[in-house]
Amino acid sequence: MPSPSETTLVSLECSSEYCSVALLHRTALFEAEIHAGQTHAAHLLGLVAQLLAGAGISLSDCDVIAFGAGPGSFTGLRVACAVAQGLALGAGIGVVPVSTLTAMAEQACFGEPVHEDGEKVLCVQDARMGEFYWSVIEVGTLGFREGIAPRLDRAVDLLAALPQVCERGCGNGFAVCAELRGAARSLSAVDHPHAASIARLAAAQLMTAAPLAPDAARPLYVRDRVALITIEREQARGALS
């Protein structure tokens, strides 16, 4: 695979109420984002076409398709994964899933110098029903690493599982739940993942790991049983229609 400075890829992010697409073309990065609510599927392909046309390149010029794999909105994750698979199959290229929580940490730290001893970023997203998706991302000279993999907990359980106060926090969970704010020494304004961060992380991942075949890509739900029930209901409705 090409180095990050030579990579061309499209990234998709639909895990929140925002729908965003980014095009990384070597050292240039283009991004488009709209507040889509639950209408990601109606906008995603149009945003992809818009960015490709604006850069004067085609999908066949891309090395991979990246997408925000989750956790996040079940519907949004399925849309991003399905569109990434379809685009990749059509272009004959691979797919790179990226954690949405790691993407928020990357966005929160983007453009800032890396601390010599590293930094821990607590990423917390509102999962509704009184629960939160969260992860601790360790940021250092080697990039971004999951110190604690994505989990789903109530605030009290999150705080009990957190080994120490983190240097930084990001995500809309801090605005939703005031008691979480003491878990990070400073709070970033980043409250949802962006496709630009998905693109940068995907390019870095390609240096150490090969992309997946399109049909091997899967969303990262975390709240698996609820997601399964949702899918089962959709399948049942389809069988009856």
Q: How far is CA 30 from the centre of its chain?
A: 17
Examine the domain organization and report whether 136 and 178 are in the same domain: yes
Within a 10 A sphere around the Cβ of 176, how many other Cβ atoms? 17
- Report the pLDDT value the prediction gives residue 233, as an integer from 0 to 100: 46
Q: Which domain holds residue 19?
A: 4-100+193-240
Burial (0-12, 13-18, 19+ Cβ within 10 Å), 201 = buried
End of a domain among 143, 167, 187?
A: 187
Examine the domain organization and report whether 151 and 183 are in the same domain: yes
Judge whether 107 lies within some domain.
Answer: no
Examine the domain organization and report whether 16 and 75 are in the same domain: yes
Which pTM does this prediction carry?
Answer: 0.91
Examine the domain organization and report whether 176 and 205 are in the same domain: no
Examine the domain organization and report whether 45 and 17 are in the same domain: yes
For the cut 60, the answer to whether the pLDDT of residue 176 exceeds it is yes
Judge whether 41 lies within some domain.
Answer: yes
Q: How far is CA 136 from the centre of its chain?
A: 15
- Please give the Cα distance from 38 to 44 (Å, whole number): 12
Mean pLDDT of the chain: 92
Instruction: Please answer whether residues 224 and 206 qualify as being in contact, where contact means their C-beta atoms are separated by less than 8 angstroms.
Output: no
We report the CATH number of the domain holding residue 33 as 3.30.420.40
For the cut 60, the answer to whether the pLDDT of residue 34 exceeds it is yes
Examine the domain organization and report whether 8 and 91 are in the same domain: yes
Domain count, the chain: 2
Going by C-alpha positions, the residue among 83, 179, 85, 77 that lies closest to residue 124 is: 179
For the cut 90, the answer to whether the pLDDT of residue 56 exceeds it is yes
For the cut 90, the answer to whether the pLDDT of residue 236 exceeds it is no
**Residue pLDDT, tens place only, 99-152:** 999 999 999 999 888 776 789 999 999 999 999 999 999 999 889 999 999 999
